[in-house]
Structures are given as C-alpha cells and as structure tokens.
A and B are shown apart, each in its own frame.
Chain A
Amino acid sequence: MDADARAAALVASALDIQAPVSRDDDMASLAAWTSLSHVRLILEIEAALGRTLGPDEIASIDSVRAVAALLAAAP
C-alpha cells in the first residue's frame, strides 16, 4: 500500500469515517475532522511511525496529503 492509501486509511480510521476518504480531502472537506478526532489522528500517526512528532510536523497536518507526506518520509 502506498503512502497516499495508507494516509487515507489512517485518516478514515481516526475520524471514524466509513465512506472512502480521498487524497484531496482536508480539515475543511471532512466534517468529522474535529478537534477530538484530530488528537486521535496525531496519536495514530505517531503510533504508525513509532515516534513522537515534532512541532513542525504537527503543524503541517491539515490534509490527507500532509499525512501521506509524513508517512512517506518515514524510514
């Protein structure tokens, strides 16, 4: 599974969305992307990467693409 697909799956899981999530989706397009689900998403990304995210990385997370970029950069 490539980073885009992994990111979409991770966002869908954290936001508890059953419908397909697109790589073009972001905070504004997904109503389920609330403050609470955002916290869940960051914790799930950290679990997937096996490390704590830094401030720059946390601030970058506003879309599925941004999540994919973090996953793709992981060794």
Chain B
Amino acid sequence: MKLTLKPPDRRLARPLETARFTLRPLGLLETLKVTESWRTDPDILTGLFFSPEPRSLVQWLRKGPIPNNVDRFAFAIVPHGTARPIGVHMVKLRQRGVASSGIGIHDRAWWGADVVVEARAALMRHFFANGGIELFLGFVRERNLNSIFIYRRMGFEYKGLAGRPKRNPATGESADFMRFEMSRARWEAGPFGRTGDGC
C-alpha cells in the first residue's frame, strides 16, 4: 500500500452505473473485507500476481489491491438489486497521464458473463473524462486467453512482449507478459468511446 497524505479524490472515487452493475468506490477497510477471500483464492492470486501462494494480511496490505483514492482506486462491482459485490476492479494512476487496471471476480457464477468488459469500459470512460488520463496500459500473461480477449474486444492495441519472463514459484512455469495500450485518441475513435457503451 502506498501511503499518502493527500485527501481522497472524490471526483474520481465516486459511484458509477453500468447496465448491470453499480461500481462503488471502496476505502481501505471495505477493500480488506471484500477481498478477504482473494488472499487464499489460487485463481484470483494467479491472475493478479502469477502465483497462487496465499498472502497474509500484512502481505496484502503491502502488495494487495489496496486503494488510497488518490492514485490507487478500487471499485466494488455490485449487481443491480443486490448489495453483495461479485468482484473488484482496481485502477492505478502511474506516471503523469498513464493508468493501468486489474480485476478480480470472486463470484464464479459471473465468470464468462463479460463482467470485465462492462465494468472496465465504464471506469475507462470515467478516468479518461475526469482523471486526465491519456493512456491505459494492460499487461497479460501470454496464455491468459480470457484477458487477451477482453483487451482486444475493447480495442486495445497489442504492443509486444513486456520485459523479461516471469516465473511462477509454485509451478516453476515461466511466462512472457504481453503489453496492451489504449490511447485517448484510440478510445474516442473506438466503439466504447464513440457510443458511450459499446456492449
């Protein structure tokens, strides 16, 4: 967790609505509660860290998807008509004008239901419009076909392999990571930026 003395950015950390979900900004304690199961969920951990190794609370506080609502945000994905989050979508503001994102869907009943495209499109629209973002980055393990689909479906441009291969300590498997980019101009010319929905 990156500590900051700046006050939360309420302009960015505000609820958003999509066709099926409310994206509700989370604080530190809420994030710890909503993501508690993630610390031992091998699928979520592998998706986020390329390692299924369980994380302690201290490790989670240091390296987990903890928001400060200044340059790190976490939005609970809550289906309309319910109160229970099915996952969390994170947005991290990197250097000036560049952002990246990550997501975990812990409710497996929603897997394959294109939750990511719907939630990510709303968040990207919000951060392009209000966060001064000029470029969204995405990094995906080379055989993570679901995530690659999402980036291509949303119109991200594939920019080649990113850095050195990473090794999964549990399996010994080594994998390259693919870099995807979406510039503001590309977003505004694409189906999600043009129609405001794209789904």
A interface residue numbers (CB < 8 A to B): 27-28, 33-36, 38-39, 42, 55-56, 58-62
Contact = CB atoms under 8 A, between A and B. Distances in A.
Contacts of A33: 153
* Residue of B142, B149, B153 most packed against chain A (CB within 10 A): B149
* Residue of A36, A59, A60, A61 most packed against chain B (CB within 10 A): A59
Contact of A62 (B146, B152, B176, B178): B152
B34 interface: no
Mostly, the A contact residues are helix
Interface string B23-63: 00000000000000000000000000000000000000000
Please name the 4 residue pairs, one residue from A and one from B, whose CB atoms are nearest each other, closest first: A59-B158, A38-B149, A39-B145, A35-B146
Interface string B83-127: 000000000000000000000000000001010100000000000
Interface of B: 112, 114, 116, 142, 145-146, 148-150, 152-153, 158, 160-161, 176, 178, 180, 191, 198
Nearest to B177: A55
Contact of A59 (B116, B148, B198): B148
A3 to B, nearest CB: 20
B142 A58 contact: yes
A68 B7 CA distance: 53
A42 to B, nearest CB: 6
Contact of A55 (B116, B142, B153, B198): B142
A59 B112 contact: no
Nearest to B148: A58
B112 to A, nearest CB: 5
